[in-house]
Amino acid sequence: MTGLEQGAAWMDGRIIPVTDAAIPVTDWGVTHSDIAYDVVPVWQGAFFRLDDYVTRFLASLSALRMEIGMDRAAIEAALHEMVAASGLRDAYVAMVAARGRNPVPGSRDPRDCANHFYAWCVPYVHVVKPVVVEQGCAVWIAKSVRRIPKDSVDPTVKNYHWGDFTSGLFEAKERGYETTLLLDHAGNVTEGPGFNAFALFGRRIVTPDAGVLHGITRRTVLEMAAEAGLETEVRPLPLAEFLEADEVFLSSSGGGVIPVARVDERVFSNGRPGPVARDLRDRYFAWMGRAAHRSPVDYGPSG
């Protein structure tokens, strides 16, 4: 036993138990939620689409004007080293860049901050519990809050600005729903806390184009749909149209494709996961096993 089985962190070149990992209380990552991050899954001993996740992380760093002093190779090496040390074969792996502390007293100039990188991993996380997925997830459309406008916080940059999601989650949980989905100010479906949304109309899948993270799992769903002979559209998706879908499902790095059985009071697929969503869910885990998408972790002789 290494003491890292419940999770590990990479900080300043050291690997430590995730429970010991911390950043200073004056870090702008804490005080201003000034953080870029990404999450890549490890499944059966290998990263899934690691190159795509790191590419998006680097794009987020550029968008937020962060310099962490590490290139792609160094980031990937840190992630591999950390997961190998943990021994986790199925893991939820986060790479994070924080703005850092401002060494100039009273300064509000972000250029004065020392940006820094850290990472952490824990056993694989399902954003919706598998037992709930098997029954079909219940989703609440938030009523008291709308998604932060894209010209205020860019949703294509994965960030810690979750105030709108958290409000929606309180609404959902208080009404007995598993999770929440937010609309934009025009009444179009956007995304939820940690997932993208899809609607199926016959053999055509529609997913929102704006106000959403361009998720790697979202991309995988669109690619799997094409492989399955389904049509796909990326465009605005008004709530009224969304509620008329034949099936609804979600996508997340934490669980793949997640069938939805109910949105508010609207019941889909007789209150069970729909056949297309079930098929795409099975395909997702099969895709995770494809050699072209896998970056195996070297656990060493004892691994």
Alpha carbon distance 14, 46 (integer Å): 22
- For the stretch 4-27, pLDDT in tens is 989 999 999 999 999 999 999 999
CA torsion angle for 129, 38, 34, 110 (degrees, to 10)? 180
Domain edges within the chain: 8-123, 130-287
Tell me, letter by letter, the H, E, C secondary structure of 52-93. Answer: HHHHHHHHHHHHCCCCCCCCHHHHHHHHHHHHHHHCCCCEEE
pLDDT of residue 2: 67
What is the phi/psi pair of residue 74, to 5°? -70, -40
The CATH label, of 3.60.70.12, 1.10.3470.10, 3.30.470.10, 3.40.50.1110, for the domain at 8-123 is 3.30.470.10
pLDDT above 70: percentage of residues in the chain: 99
**pLDDT band at residue 272 using 50, 70 and 90 as cut-offs:** very high
Distance linking the first and last C-alpha atoms of the chain: 12
Instruction: Judge whether 8-123 and 130-287 match in fold.
Output: no
**Beta strand segments in 124-241, E:** 137-141, 179-181, 191-192, 195-201, 204-207, 231-234
Query: What CATH topology corresponds to 130-287?
Result: D-amino Acid Aminotransferase; Chain A, domain 2 (3.20.10)
- For the stretch 152-164, pLDDT in tens is 999 999 999 999 9
